[in-house]
Amino acid sequence: MRKLDHNAHSAFLLYYHLVLVVKYRRDVFDDTVSDRAREIFSYIAPRYGIEVDEWNHDGDHIHAMFRAQPKSELRKFINAYKSASSRLLKKEFPEIRKKLWKETFWSQSFCLITAGGAPIEVIREYIETQGEKDGKE
């Protein structure tokens, strides 16, 4: 199990799974474009207290697993990333523009799922048994 992250006043372990989809599911990602998209993510992330752990792609979307801090503004980070990556990827890979609809790179929506240590049922059982001694009430 990974050690907890911490700051001056708290300990935490906040993992998230982010899925971003290209508008109209256009196939724009290959390994080279995905690698550059990850570089952009890794460049912006520290400003928001975020660190990428895993990254992968399919032709029309990316998956990122990252760690964040309690103060991280996830929505602002995701919007900053989508804006910067859209601009830079279209500039650096002009062939992408031919595959897009009206210059829009990312779908407006995204999927963000919390991911972390123990399964929910294990945590639920742990909380339910608090205050019991030797398993008896």
- pLDDT, one tens digit per residue, over 6-15 is 888 889 889 9
Tokens of 127: 């909380």
Residue 55: the pLDDT is 94
Residues in the chain, pLDDT under 50: 137
Closest CA to 16 of 43, 60, 58, 48: 48
pLDDT of residue 121: 76
Per-residue model confidence (pLDDT) at position 12: 87
The pLDDT of residue 134? 58
Taking the model in full, what pTM does it have? Answer: 0.84
